[in-house]
Each structure stands twice: as C-alpha cells, then as structure tokens.
Structure 1
Amino acid sequence: MSDYDAEALRKRSLSSSNTFEGMVDAHLSRRGFLVGAVAATAAASSVLTVGFPTEALAATGFVAVAETKADTITVPTGYGFNTLLAWGDPLFSGDAAWGTGAGEVNGTNLTADQQERRVGFNHDMLALFANPIGSPASAGGQPHGAYIAAFNQEYTTGTDMFPGYSAASASRNTVDVEIAAHGITIAGIRLVGGTWTHDVGMRVGDVAEGALVARRITGNTRFTLDGPAKDDPRLAGAVAGTFNNCAGGFTPWGTYLSAEENFNQYFANLSTLPAGTTKANYQILGMSNGATSRRWEKYHDRFDLAKMPNEGFKYGWIIEVDPYDPTRRPVKHTALGRFKHECATIVVQYPTGAAKGKVVAYSGDDQQFDYVYKFVTDGTFDRETPRAKAHFSLLSAGTLYTAKFNADGTGEWLPLTHANVDSKAAGAFADQADICIRTREAADVLGATPMDRPEDVEAPHDPVTFAGTGKVFVVCTNNSNRGGSATAANRPGTGTVRSSAADAANPRNNNRTGHIVQITEDGNDHTSTTFTWSLYLLAGDPKAASGAVGDVKDTFFGDRFGSPDNITFDNRGLLWIATDGNPNSFASNDQVLCTEIAGNGKVRVKRFLVGPFGCEVCGPLFSPDNTTFFCNIQHPGEDGQASTFPNGQKRPVMVAVRRTDGGIIGS
C-alpha cells in the first residue's frame, strides 16, 4: 500500500471502522416516530415526522453549562481551553509579531504584503491533516502530535480591523489588506505539554527536507478551473482569488475543500447590465445594483460589473487545495455547481467487499428558500492508493443532483443533467456548462424543495476509508420569511414564483430557530437517487408553549438553542451542533451543544460551550482520538460591539478545548 497502511491506522485509531459504524447505526438508524399534524398553513396532506434514536448510547458525562453573555469561552467544570492562530499572527519565521509594541504589527500599520503572510480574518471551517499523512491517533489517549491545519477566512469587516474605518474613504492599502485577509490559512499546529501551539517552522512530512507547511490562499491567488464549465466564455481569462469561504470539507486523498458562499456582496453596479441571463443570474444571487458596502470597485475593476460583467461567474464554486503540496495550484470545481455553497461533505460508497468506490459530495445553498445538492463522481476512489494522481481529478466529472422532499417522508435526488433539465424547459440552458453556472435556475426547473437556509450537510463516515453509513443530516439554520409573503421566495429577474408556505420538510412559519433534517439514502447507498427523511429535531425551547415561536414540538428535551449552523460527529457517533444567531432568539451568546440519547430513547441536548460576546462559533471538529475539541471563534464583538476576546484584542481565533485530565471529550 502506498502512502500509509490503512489497516494499521485503523487498528491504532480509537475510532475504528467497526466501532464507528456500529455506533452510528445504533445511534441514528433505529428510530421511532412521532406523527402529528403540521401547522395549519402547511398542506393538509403533510405530517410532522420526527426521528428519534431509540438506544441509550454513550451518554455524556459533563455537566451542561448555563446560558451566558460572558465575553469569554465558557466550558464545563473539568475542561479548559487555549487559543491559537488569531487574525494577523505571522505564519513565517522572522516576521514581526502582532501587537502594539515597537516594531510590531496591528490594524494601524498592517500592509497588504504583510497580510499575505499572516493569518486571515474571520475564521470559519476548520480541517486537520495529520503530518506526516496518515499518522494515526495512538490508543494511549494522546493524539498524534502534529497536524496541518487548514481553515477558511470568510469575510472582512473594516470597522473591526482598522481604527476609524470608513468604506467611503478607505485607502487603497486598506482595501488590499481586506482582499488579502480573505481565503484560507494553512499552518502547522503541535501538541506540546497538553497544549496546542502554532508551529511556525513545521514542514510537510514533519521532516527537515519537507516544504514549509505555512501558506495563504487569498483574494489574489490564481486558480485553475476544471469540469464542464472550465472553457465557457463567461469564465475566460485569469481566475484570481476566492471570497466568502464559509464551510467546506476534506477528502480521503488528503485535500481541503472550501465553499464560496455569499460572493455576491463583492460585486457592484448590476443595474448597468442589460436584461438577459447574465443579469438575471446575478439578480437571484443578490449582487448590488449600485456600490457595494466595501467599495472595492473603486480601486479594482474586477469588482465592477459595468467594467467586467463576466467576473461574477468566477465565484460561487467549491475549491480544492492540497495542504501537502504547496506547488499544486488550487482548483475551482465547476461540476459541483455554482451557488452559495455552505459545505462539501465527502463520503465514499464502496460496493460490498470492494476497495474502490464512487465519491459523493453533499452541499447546501445557504439562503432562505434554497436547495440541497449532492454530486456523485464518474470515477472511483481506491483506498489502497489514496494519493494516486487520478484522485485529484475525481471532482471534475460526475452527476450533480438536487433534493426534493415529499410530504410522505420519501425523497428524490433530481439529476441536474442537460438532458433532464432540457426535457422540462427546452432551450432554457445551452449545455451542461450553462447548468453548472446557473445551477439555482436549473434546480428551479426541476422542482427541488426550497429549504430554510440549508447550511451544513454532514454524513457520518469511517474516519479512515470515508465509507458512509447511508445517513445524512441537513442543517436548516432559520427562515423568518417562511409562511410570509411569497416575494421572499421568488426569483427576481427570472419570473420564477415559489411558495413560501410551510411544508413537511420545513414545517414552521416564522422559523426563527431552525431545524435539522435526517436523510436515509435508500439501501444505505449514497449514490441512490431516492431516500427517506424525517425531522431529527426542531431547534428552539423545549419549554415554549405549543404553537409559540421556538416550540420544538417535543422533538428534544434539555437545553434550548436557536439557529444551528455547523455540526460534527465524535468517534462515538454523537452529533454536536454549533450555532450562528442564537442571540436573536435567546439570551445567550452562540454556543456548541451535544445531542445524546437518554434512557427513554429521545434526544437530549446539552450545552457544552458558549462563545464570547458577539461571536459565531464555527468549524466544530474533534481530534481523531476525541481528546481535543476544536472550533473557530468568528467576529467576536462584530460591528463595533464590546468584546475584548481574546486577551483584550478582539480578533477571530482558533480554540482548542481539552479535559484537564487529558481524557475523552464529553465522556
């Protein structure tokens, strides 16, 4: 076997294939049902179907923390945390430290060239890559001590970066710093004496002859295009930079996937374009009719649609970066479609007994009334040779699908192929490239189900082979316009009219607190085109009166929360939830919660962590041995709010949480 011995890795990992799959199966697939009428505004034939795991498994041992507005990280008794890799920290030896002392760098003297060599702003998705590749967690309780961390920088807010900032009067340097602060940071981290630290000098393979790990992918980085739309005239010319990188994923061949989400906010002067498919596509994505809030178009023509009308087509993709090879140019995969991607979760579907299987990527389009997608590759991944050259082009060819959730608890994956779309709307799309570029419009034609902001879409899988279990979880953050005016659900510029009414998969009007949908692929096969679904839980307050905003309809008990955003699974199969927008519903900062199974077989929610004031908690992730819980703290004290986290500096930062005794998180 090349690269690493998967069998040895499996034996040495605490999260072995058999243990993990057995736990997930017991935790998720044997479920009872609570069936009742949906809200009166929903279709009369719809029912509310709620899936509960029924076996009492791996109950957590920590005492839940209380709601709080404290400006710090709050964790249970017996736990502690440390911060690392904050915005502006130098990635390379010899660069000046961040601070206000003599010779140090901060928001008053930071230059664009310096920002290209420093941690970017507003951390989001996080992934860890063992260094050297394939290094397992040891069974003794300590994880392998060195990882390459890859994490997104979603967006910038000048008021939180530069003293006295004004977009209208921002200098060219200020704009260029913001562009350089977007994208992805790649850096080495190491466990030293029970504390995770930034290793500035880490090299690939953790050997002296390896390339430096440290790397920035920014708004200036050159990309390669692949897939059906790579040669489309709308994408001609240089593809420079990536913006609004939210969640993403990682692959079994050792690469990082990053999702371009709200890229619309960077492009100005839509109103200058003539009517047509270009303008209509930009309208449904929400590009600015006039000036943008950042005013980058003042200095860079590529953000001015009046001057470069096709530039907006180069964003909204899933990108792939190889953290083990700094010489490999990052790629934008057009086959996975163009929309406001929230994630790119990878599983592999292996036929029984086979070492090769098709790769499946799940993604949500994070906007009210938008869709859930999956992509199935034409080629196969061979787990015997994980770093094979052919694997780096797997995401360039395959079939893209969008989801339709039926009221009876069944569902369909509708193929977004040119033949299928053309059969429903002849001549509306020129070819497959056109569908990949105008993906939302093609999904409209097929009648996909508009969801309540489908953000994270996660599929539990084996940590070594990426073999899926057939289960998929769709996180719908919220939708205050559900049940309201149809205008919010319509497509401007295209004439597409969609209902805003509650339905079976989105059963609450004014859905301020969100919900999680559980999908079971038919035959537990991730390449299947049909599935069944149920509501895993409706977020809110278990004590809320029936019919009130936040009524969870008995779908869980325990600690209240709102606006689930990103989720992850530990190696026992328990689902952990990070929120974005909880303060809009309840008197607490955003937080992380664990869903465990109580003795009655119902979901119990326990609050594990509360972030500092004004933040969003992003990128929840466990070390392979479950002794560290990682997350990113995005925008503490956003837009001038009073926060001094961390260490009095108010900077986005990575956080590592560990038990004081070094034990398993949550046990």
Structure 2
Amino acid sequence: MAQLGERRLLPLFSTGRARVTCRYRCGDQCAEHPPNPTANPYFGDLLQNVLNRRGLLRAGAVVAASAAVLPAIAGRPASAAPGRPPGLDFTPVQPNSADAVVVPEGYQQQIVLRWGDPILPGAPEFDFDNQTPEAQEGQFGYNNDFCALLPLTDDRRLMVNNHEYTTEEFLFRGYDPENPTEQQVRVAWAAHGLSVVVLETHHGAPKAVLDPLNRRITLNTPFELRGPAAGSDLLKTPADPTGTRAFGTMNNCSGGVTPWGTILSGEENIHFYFAGADQVTDPTTQQRLARYGIAGSASERKWERFDSRWDLSQQVNEPNRFGWIIELDPYDPTSTPVKHTALGRFKHEGANIRVADDGRVVAYLGDDEKFEYIYRFVSDEKMKPGSSRHARRHNMSLLDSGTLYVARFTGDSPASEFDGSGKLPSDGEFDGVGEWLPLAHNDTSFVPGMSAEEVYIFTRLAADQVAATKMDRPEDIQPHPITGRVYCALTNNSDRGPDGKAAADEVNPRNSNKHGQVLELDDDPTGTRFSWRLLLVCGDPNDPSTYFAGFDKSQVSPITCPDNVAFDRHGNLWISTDSAEALGANDGLYALPLEGPERGHVMQFLSVPRGAEACGPIIEDNLVLVSAQHPGEVDGADADNPISHWPDGGTSQPRPSVIAVWR
C-alpha cells in the first residue's frame, strides 16, 4: 500500500455510499431532485449589484471590527516548535478496505457497546434471530451516531448515543420490503432514538454497566413541545389535541452537549417515513410537504399499515412534529425530553452551543441536504453559572426564547474567478464575509407573509424568502472551545453546477462536488456579521481542486465527505467522514492542527470497517471514542448474505458499535 510520500491518484468519481444505506437513511434523497426550488442569487450576483469591490472590502472591515474579540486566523507563527503539534503524535494509517477498525501503531481498541447489548435491567442478551420489541426497548439501539461522555465520578462516566435509523434488510433475515411484519416494524420503532448508559472507566477501556441512570429513548417516548410554536394548530393531532406533546424521536443524527450538562440531538431525514402525501389536496400543504421532500404514496418502511400517524391522508400534521432539535437531561431518567421549536424545523444534523461574552447562548445549526442553509439561534436570557437546581432549571429554558437567523455568504473575489473547477482565486484563499438574516424572534416574524409559528415550523420556506445562501450539505457545526471560531462540515453536493442549478461560488467552489469542504467562521456571536474562509476543500491531494489551508498536499492524508467535527484540548480539529468510498477506501477519523506551520496537515487516525460510517467522535487525552455505523452495508449484501462479520467475527452478523481507542 502506498505510503504518504508515494501518492497514487484515487478514484475521484466512484459511486460513494452504498445505495442500500441511502435508501434506508434518507430515502435515496440525493438521487432525487433537491427540494429547494429557489433561485436565490449569491455572492457577486447578490451584492455586486449594489457594491463594488471597494465596498466589499469595507464590509470585511466592519466584520473584522465586530469580531475583534476573537483571535485572527494568522499566518504561521515564526516561533512555532518544529515537529508534530501536541496531541497529534501518531503515524497516520493508510486508506484501506479492511473489515476491521484500523488504528495507528501503538494503539489498542475495544468495543464498548454493540447494537442489541442489554443496558436496562431485565433486558435479554441479544439474539439476532429472535428479536422482539420488548427486548429492543432495553437494549442498545441500532446505527449509533452522535456520542457524548459526561462526568459522574472519578471512575464512572455517562455515555449518550443517538440511534439514527434502521436498515431493515440487515436487521432481519428474509426481510420483504413490501410486506414487513408488525413485529419487525415494532422492533424498528424501539431501535430508533437514543441510549443513556453508565460506563466504568477505571480499568482500561470503558465498560458499560447496568445502572439506574441507564435509559432508552424510542419512537414510543413522550416529548414536550416547547417554545414559540408549541400549541400551534399545525402541531395538533388526534393523539395530541394540544400540540404540546409529541411521541418519539427518529433519524437522530449528530448533537452536542450543553454547558449545563444536557444533550442536544438533531432529527434529520424525517421525510420518507410518511405515506399518503399524494392524497393531500390543499395547495399550501402540498407546497410545505414538497419543500421538506415529503412525497408519494406508500412509505419506505410501510409503518402506516400499523399506526395511522404515519399516513398523511389521516394525520397531515404528524410530520410537523419531527425535524426539531431535542434536549435530553441524561442525569434524570424520569425527565421528559423536549423538542425546541425556537430552533426551527428542518433536517437538523445537530446543534452546538457557544456562550457569548454577555452570557447569552448561541446555537449553530446545519440543514443536511443539498442546497440547504446554515442557521444560528441567539437566546434572550443569559446562562446562570453553577449547578444548583435553580440554575439548571433556568438554563434548560434558554433555548425557548430568542432570535433565529439564517446565513448569507459573500466572497471577496470576483464571481468570474469561479468556474466550478475549484481553482483558488487570485488572492490565494477562499474567503469573504457574511451576515445573519433574522427570521423570527418569539412571536414576531421577520419574513413577509409568514407568521412566526409558520417560520418555526416551515423554516426552509422562510429562509428561501430572505435569499439565504445555498450550501453543500451543511452537517456538523461546532464552535472552537478556545478561539471561539466556528467550524462547519459541508459534506458534498454532486448536483452543484450550472444547467439551472446553483453554480459554484467562493464558499462552494466546485461543480459536481463529491468530496465536500470544511468552513471556518470568525463570528461575532451576538452581532449579525461574520467573516469566513474555507479551511479544507477535500478529496485526493493529487486532484488540483483540493486545498488544505495552503499546506503541502504531498504530505496529507486523502479525505472526503467531512461529516462530524470535534476538538482536542490542544485545539486540534478532528473530522469523521461519511462516504469515503468516493475515494475507494473505508471511512475514518482524521486530525489536523489549526494553528502554526502544520495548519492544514490532515492525518488519518483510524478507519472503520467496510461499509461503515465513522460518527460521533470524542477526543480526550487518553481515550478516543468513535461510533461505527452501518458496518457491512454494501450493495448486494443483507442479513441473508452478510459481507461483514465485524465486530464479533466468524459468521456473525455485523453490528453497529461504539469503539474505544487508546495508546
């Protein structure tokens, strides 16, 4: 296998993620026409009508002044120490297609939890061929994505995991997609949601234990709808005539840990769980459903056969009760989790919090679909320090009142320099400025023709009207814990280009963008201006369209489709990927410095098994946790013909799992 100094050109245009994964995770949404029909103008098209080049530079000066509290992205300091930055002293692993987790030399690994492992008292040991809904309600759920670790005692931690979706062809032998059984459907309902599990950490790798704090959240769990849209007629159903109590959560992708110790989780691809869209005749409702990609007659999983809430011809408001950011208090197993309407409804990847200098909290949010938008929420109230019951109760209400914004980006180079090839502009950097456009503040709408509750429930339509910037699948967005800069993974967008679609621009510089980019913001968290630059334009380093913050591309690991981002205590950025098959290899976890002479030096830390996606990384000094989601999901394979036997080996079925890695 080639070493880092022996570059081989990887296949830039392979198919990427398996179709079976696309089918069950998002209804093969990427193969459909993107549901954003707007022709919003961008960059030069939008602002060059009113600003000349000098005006754009003045706008940049305004942003620089407003963001003066943040350290500038500087050139590499002359005093930087030679050699690897702290926290990155490992030898990168090479791209591979092994049915295993591959870690650097000198590191060990161990499974923490697998799908089906019992986590509640009385739950049985996993039995693939004898699954029941009752058993799955007490077992670790399927397709673990986001992962969080919270403190308990010196030798105990609390782990929280999302369970994004189910791939029924891998859950059950002999599965018939056209005729699922009620037992199979109810197992799937129980396999969605979240798990809360106590880990013992004092003897090597973390070990899951039975504990009163352990909990499963499923599609049967009651939720409280809170915030400005709660109680809206658009949220009422026969099961909940008040519009304030939803049942269950699904397609939970990424998330975040709040400063007050709760978990935020994003409901993402909710659109293809519903049937009967073709029976809806009201034009306004049809438009709203279409904008969220909800279409057709029967659903993918046929759940409508067993519960009418999945049938829009009977309960047209049920989809409006999904697509939110949820908040869970993992320290209270009796608490009712919340869906926050003030954060808007769209295909949430997740949410992450930054505390502004004045004490208000700021949440950054991405809508994970082609040509969708980046959002921000700023609370009205300030966070109370401390862990008292009063402070905790107050802080858990912060996301119910504030202002929701959407982002518009402007490049600082002429639009003529962007032909879709990914070529750097003449100033040598993809960068510019931007503004946050207000959508609503509590009961006040800033979008003509839409009430505030309509803005919150149909946020995509509101963002369309204010001409937000169409992005290349905004996924995980996180503020840096030291500098405050904000980092956004833009996974890919093979539909970007001319021919009636949004063409390349400075923040999305490639047509047919199969490999994605990572965006870096200097944001004034309570103002409305920011500056931005692209940190990475991903892909094979031999591809001239790639960019690694100016670092020598012959020294970097190939990386594609950035999905989740995280930070270590030294300030390095870690990135997990989704669809590394676009480069002919397994997905993995990567790291790079953000400062000094090694800025942009991407190094692959590990790879996950064939067909799997690397999710939810946690980076600590002596421990890395990664979720390996949907291992073995390769076209042509299923539970009757598994191509992977990870993690148990032999002839076992593949099982999504959380992995611990340590030196």
Give the alignment's TM-score, normalised by structure 2. Answer: 0.80
Using the alignment, how far apart are the partners of 1:637 and 1:329 within structure 2?
A: 35
Counterpart in the other structure of 1:562:
560
CA contact (8 A) 1:541 1:552 kept: no
Counterpart in the other structure of 2:478:
458
Counterpart in the other structure of 2:529:
530
Percent of pairs identical after alignment?
Answer: 40
1:179-198 matches, cutoff 5 A: 179-198=189-208
Which consecutive residues of structure 2, in runs of 5 or more, have no partner in the other structure? Answer: 1-41, 61-71, 413-431
Q: Deviations over 1:508-565 (max 9, x none)?
A: 111110001110014xxx1121111111110112222x35xx5769566311111000
The residue type equivalent to 1:646 in the other structure is P
Counterpart in the other structure of 2:257:
250
Residue 661 (structure 2) pairs with residue 654 (structure 1): no
Counterpart in the other structure of 1:102:
none
1:286-305 matches, cutoff 5 A: 286-305=293-312
CA contact (8 A) 2:497 2:504 kept: yes
Using the alignment, how far apart are the partners of 2:227 and 2:395 within structure 1?
A: 14
For residues 77 and 311 of structure 1, do their structure 2 counterparts lie closer, same or farther at Cα, with a shift above 3 Å needed? Answer: same
Counterpart in the other structure of 2:149:
128
CA contact (8 A) 1:421 1:445 kept: no
Counterpart in the other structure of 2:372:
370
Bigger mean CA offset, 317-326 vs 555-564 = 555-564
1:216 partner SS: strand
Residue 480 (structure 1) aligned to one of 494, 511, 516:
494
1:412-431 matches, cutoff 5 A: 412-417=435-440, 425=448, 428-429=449-450, 431=451
Counterpart in the other structure of 2:514:
512
Counterpart in the other structure of 2:464:
444
Counterpart in the other structure of 1:634:
629
1:265 partner SS: helix
Tell me the CA shift for residue 611 of structure 1. Answer: 0.5
Counterpart in the other structure of 1:9:
none
Using the alignment, how far apart are the partners of 1:500 and 1:538 within structure 2?
A: 18
Tell me the CA shift for residue 285 of structure 1. Answer: 1.1
Counterpart in the other structure of 1:65:
93
CA contact (8 A) 1:537 1:556 kept: no
1:356-367 matches, cutoff 5 A: 357-367=359-369
Using the alignment, how far apart are the partners of 1:443 and 1:185 within structure 2?
A: 33
1:619 partner SS: strand
Residue 312 (structure 2) pairs with residue 275 (structure 1): no
For residues 422 and 186 of structure 1, do their structure 2 counterparts lie closer, same or farther at Cα, with a shift above 3 Å needed? Answer: closer
Using the alignment, how far apart are the partners of 1:275 and 1:542 within structure 2?
A: 51
Q: Deviations over 1:439-470 (max 9, x none)?
A: 001011111111000001110126xxxxxx33
Using the alignment, how far apart are the partners of 1:42 and 1:416 within structure 2?
A: 20
Residue 184 (structure 2) pairs with residue 174 (structure 1): yes
For residues 288 and 559 of structure 1, do their structure 2 counterparts lie closer, same or farther at Cα, with a shift above 3 Å needed? Answer: same
Residue 355 (structure 2) pairs with residue 348 (structure 1): yes
Residue 606 (structure 1) aligned to one of 603, 606, 630:
603
Using the alignment, how far apart are the partners of 1:507 and 1:419 within structure 2?
A: 36
Using the alignment, how far apart are the partners of 2:560 and 2:114 within structure 1?
A: 27
CA contact (8 A) 1:540 1:552 kept: no
Q: Deviations over 1:632-660 (max 9, x none)?
A: 0000011526111101230000011100x
Residue 153 (structure 1) aligned to one of 145, 152, 163:
163
1:580-591 matches, cutoff 5 A: 580-584=578-582, 586-591=583-588
Tell me the CA shift for residue 193 of structure 1. Answer: 2.2
For residues 259 and 553 of structure 1, do their structure 2 counterparts lie closer, same or farther at Cα, with a shift above 3 Å needed? Answer: closer
Tell me the CA shift for residue 421 of structure 1. Answer: 9.2
CA contact (8 A) 1:53 1:602 kept: no
Using the alignment, how far apart are the partners of 1:246 and 1:95 within structure 2?
A: 25
Counterpart in the other structure of 1:616:
613
Using the alignment, how far apart are the partners of 2:337 and 2:557 within structure 1?
A: 42
Q: Deviations over 1:329-353 (max 9, x none)?
A: 01100000000000100111133xx
Tell me the CA shift for residue 386 of structure 1. Answer: 5.9
CA contact (8 A) 2:362 2:378 kept: yes
The residue type equivalent to 2:566 in the other structure is T
Q: Deviations over 1:362-418 (max 9, x none)?
A: 110000000000111111111234652211111111101111111221110111127
For residues 150 and 420 of structure 1, do their structure 2 counterparts lie closer, same or farther at Cα, with a shift above 3 Å needed? Answer: closer
Using the alignment, how far apart are the partners of 2:344 and 2:551 within structure 1?
A: 34
1:2-41 matches, cutoff 5 A: none
Counterpart in the other structure of 1:93:
121
The residue type equivalent to 2:336 in the other structure is R
Tell me the CA shift for residue 622 of structure 1. Answer: 1.9
Using the alignment, how far apart are the partners of 1:175 and 1:600 within structure 2?
A: 53
Residue 54 (structure 1) aligned to one of 63, 71, 76:
76
For residues 159 and 319 of structure 1, do their structure 2 counterparts lie closer, same or farther at Cα, with a shift above 3 Å needed? Answer: same
Using the alignment, how far apart are the partners of 2:498 and 2:139 within structure 1?
A: 45
Tell me the CA shift for residue 616 of structure 1. Answer: 0.3
For residues 422 and 380 of structure 1, do their structure 2 counterparts lie closer, same or farther at Cα, with a shift above 3 Å needed? Answer: closer
CA contact (8 A) 1:556 1:605 kept: no
Q: Deviations over 1:231-267 (max 9, x none)?
A: 1012121411101000011111111111000011211
Using the alignment, how far apart are the partners of 2:528 and 2:338 within structure 1?
A: 28
Give the alignment's TM-score, normalised by structure 1. Answer: 0.80
The residue type equivalent to 1:376 in the other structure is V
Bigger mean CA offset, 190-199 vs 445-454 = 190-199
Tell me the CA shift for residue 277 of structure 1. Answer: 2.5
Q: How many residues align?
A: 555
Residue 119 (structure 1) aligned to one of 140, 150, 161:
140
Residue 453 (structure 2) pairs with residue 433 (structure 1): yes
CA contact (8 A) 1:261 1:341 kept: yes
The residue type equivalent to 1:647 in the other structure is D
Q: Deviations over 1:296-324 (max 9, x none)?
A: 11111111101111111000000011011
The residue type equivalent to 1:606 in the other structure is M
Using the alignment, how far apart are the partners of 1:423 and 1:383 within structure 2?
A: 32
Tell me the CA shift for residue 187 of structure 1. Answer: 0.6
For residues 553 and 459 of structure 1, do their structure 2 counterparts lie closer, same or farther at Cα, with a shift above 3 Å needed? Answer: closer
Using the alignment, how far apart are the partners of 1:168 and 1:539 within structure 2?
A: 39
Counterpart in the other structure of 1:20:
none
1:433 partner SS: helix
Using the alignment, how far apart are the partners of 2:374 and 2:131 within structure 1?
A: 40
Using the alignment, how far apart are the partners of 1:517 and 1:349 within structure 2?
A: 21
The residue type equivalent to 1:122 in the other structure is N
For residues 287 and 647 of structure 1, do their structure 2 counterparts lie closer, same or farther at Cα, with a shift above 3 Å needed? Answer: same
Tell me the CA shift for residue 503 of structure 1. Answer: 1.0
CA contact (8 A) 1:252 1:386 kept: no
The residue type equivalent to 2:341 in the other structure is T
Using the alignment, how far apart are the partners of 1:480 and 1:170 within structure 2?
A: 33
Give me the CA root mean square deviation.
2.3
Which consecutive residues of structure 1, in runs of 5 or more, have no partner in the other structure? Answer: 1-40, 99-104, 133-143, 203-211, 352-356, 463-468, 487-498, 660-667
The residue type equivalent to 1:173 in the other structure is Q
1:604 partner SS: coil
Counterpart in the other structure of 1:13:
none
The residue type equivalent to 2:589 in the other structure is V
1:239 partner SS: strand
